[in-house]
């Protein structure tokens, strides 16, 4: 059944847009209290029933426009919200590049000093297998963690699901063309890491950020429910 | 003047088409000024604006909240939940940063008023 209460509709609309549930509940509560005060004022002025409700509705203004204004105003209250394309489309890729290069560079330097990458590596076969796994875990870890983190940032900076999805789509395209291979030292050659972009499409790399977004939606809903409960207790 | 909405960076609606910057910062200044006198909750603030402007400024009352939340998010005001006469409400108070911002806005506003008065031959000063 459709709920006719405009404040409840506004609450659902803001939650659907991906605003933090604690903020949405608090706003709905304030609006509801404001409406109650207007109702008391209308009754004191001799209005009752439908006439009072009409007067209150008129004074509160349009809830659709209010919902749009709330999300726009809150989004603009922070740097990320004022520069969403930079934050949610370019910065995640930059973070991935910097994060991967930094860790790979540190790992490479340590390995170089320890002689891991020499044709006759100081690491045994088990050690090299661990390093290989570590490199792949790093890549996939960043592929998962960065989109999730930016989705969370989008939610908490009032930018909503839209910009979280934008991050995941950009990351998905990036994953499609991103390629990495790691060869262990042996047979008279040094170990090497190839890292860059190629036309050999990586479908898994494309799917992972999209799955991360789906996971984020599920977790976000659970968080919304828990934040709403906490706000109700606080109220 | 009928204002459809109060906005943190200006009052839009009827003035929007002609000069969107004309009343920039006015709602922010009004709210900060009222909160600098005493802490208030949303409904109280709207009543205060209507009374002190003799209802020359009217707007959809729900729209005080985007402005208040924006001010809170930018740390110009803070809020606390308080129970008064059996009803729990969100009271807003100005912060030191908000007071500084209010001073800036007042000084800008005085300049605008002085400039306009000069053009209008002092008749509205």
> Does the structure show a pLDDT above 70 at B72?
yes
Q: Are strands B10-11 and B77-84 parallel, antiparallel or unpaired?
A: unpaired
Mutation choice for A interface testing from B50, B62, B75 by most A CBs within 10 A:
B62
Which A positions 16-75 lie with beta carbon below 8 A of chain B?
Answer: 23, 26-27, 29-31, 33-34, 37-38, 59-63, 65-66, 69-70, 72-74
- Phi and psi at A206, nearest 5°, equal -75, -40
CA angle A55, A59, A60 (to 5 degrees): 115
What is the value of pTM for the model shown?
Answer: 0.80
Give the model's pLDDT for residue B23: 60
**Closest residue in B to A10 (Cα–Cα):** B62
Which B positions 12-41 lie with beta carbon below 8 A of chain A?
Answer: 41
What is the residue whose two structure tokens read 């699901």? A161
**Closest residue in B to A68 (Cα–Cα):** B66
B81 has a chain A CB within 8 A of its CB: yes
**Closest residue in B to A63 (Cα–Cα):** B62
> Does the structure show a pLDDT above 60 at B3?
no
Task: List B87's β-bridge partners, or say none.
Answer: B84
Mutation choice for A interface testing from B61, B70, B87, B90 by most A CBs within 10 A:
B61
Long-range contacts from A198-206, C-beta under 8 angstroms, 24+ separation: A201/A176, A201/A177, A202/A175, A202/A176, A202/A177, A202/A178, A203/A176, A204/A175, A205/A143, A205/A174, A205/A175, A205/A176, A205/A178, A206/A172, A206/A173, A206/A175, A206/A176
For chain A, give the mean pLDDT. Answer: 88
E strand or H helix at A12: helix A6-17
pLDDT in tens, A29-58: 999 999 999 999 999 988 888 888 898 988
- Residues with Cβ within 8 Å of A34's Cβ and at least 6 positions away in sequence, in order, are A60, B42, B43, B46, B61, B62, B65
ipTM: 0.78
Question: Percent of chain A having pLDDT more than 90?
Answer: 48
Question: Percent of chain B having pLDDT more than 90?
Answer: 43
Segment A62-84 shows an average pLDDT of 91
CB contact under 8 A, B69 and A27: yes
From CA A40, how far away is CA A25, in angstroms rounded? 23
Tell me the pLDDT band of A228, cut-offs 50, 70 and 90.
confident
Complete DSSP assignment for A106-128:
HHHHHHHHHTTTSSS-SS-HHHH
Q: Are strands B6-7 and B10-11 parallel, antiparallel or unpaired?
A: antiparallel
Q: How many CA atoms lie within 13 A of A186 on its CB side?
A: 8
**Closest residue in A to B87 (Cα–Cα):** A33
Q: Smallest Cβ distance to A69: which of B5, B61, B88?
A: B5
The residue that leads in pLDDT, B77 or B122, is B77
Helices B64-73, B42-52: axis angle to 10 degrees equals: 110
> Does the structure show a pLDDT above 60 at B25?
yes
From CA A159, how far away is CA A80, in angstroms rounded? 8
> Does the structure show a pLDDT above 80 at B49?
yes
């Amino acid at each position: 059944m459709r709920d006719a209460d405009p404040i409840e509709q506004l609450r659902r609309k803001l939650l659907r847009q991906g605003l933090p549930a604690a903020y949405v509940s608090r706003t709905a509560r304030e609006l509801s209290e404001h409406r109650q005060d207007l109702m008391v004022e209308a009754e004191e002025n001799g209005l009752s029933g439908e006439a009072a409700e009409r007067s209150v509705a008129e004074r509160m203004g349009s809830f659709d426009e209010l919902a749009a204004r709330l999300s726009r105003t809150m989004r603009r209250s922070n740097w990320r919200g004022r520069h969403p394309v930079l934050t949610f489309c370019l910065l995640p890729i930059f973070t991935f590049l910097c994060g991967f290069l930094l860790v790979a560079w540190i790992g490479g330097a340590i390995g170089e000093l320890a002689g891991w990458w020499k044709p006759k590596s100081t690491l045994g076969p088990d050690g090299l297998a661990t390093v290989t796994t570590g490199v792949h875990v790093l890549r996939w870890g960043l592929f998962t963690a960065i989109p999730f983190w930016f989705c969370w940032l989008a939610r908490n900076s009032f930018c909503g699901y839209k910009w979280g999805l934008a991050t995941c789509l950009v990351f998905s395209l990036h994953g499609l063309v991103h390629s990495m291979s790691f060869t262990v030292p042996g047979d008279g050659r040094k170990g090497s890491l190839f890292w860059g972009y190629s036309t050999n499409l990586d479908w898994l790399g494309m799917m992972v950020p999209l799955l991360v977004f789906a996971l984020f939606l599920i977790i976000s809903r659970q968080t919304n429910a828990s934040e709403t409960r906490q706000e109700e207790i606080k109220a | 003047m009928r204002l459809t909405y109060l906005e943190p960076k200006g009052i839009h609606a009827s003035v929007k088409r002609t000069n969107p910057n004309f009343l920039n910062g006015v709602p922010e200044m009004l709210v900060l000024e009222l909160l600098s006198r005493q802490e208030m909750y949303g409904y109280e603030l709207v009543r205060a604006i209507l009374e002190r402007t003799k209802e020359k400024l009217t707007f959809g009352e729900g729209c005080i909240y985007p402005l208040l939340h924006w001010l809170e998010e930018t740390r110009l005001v803070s809020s606390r939940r308080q129970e008064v006469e059996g009803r729990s409400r969100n009271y807003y108070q100005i912060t030191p940063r908000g007071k500084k911002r209010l001073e800036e806005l007042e000084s800008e506003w005085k300049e605008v008023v002085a400039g306009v008065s000069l053009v209008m031959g002092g008749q509205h000063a």
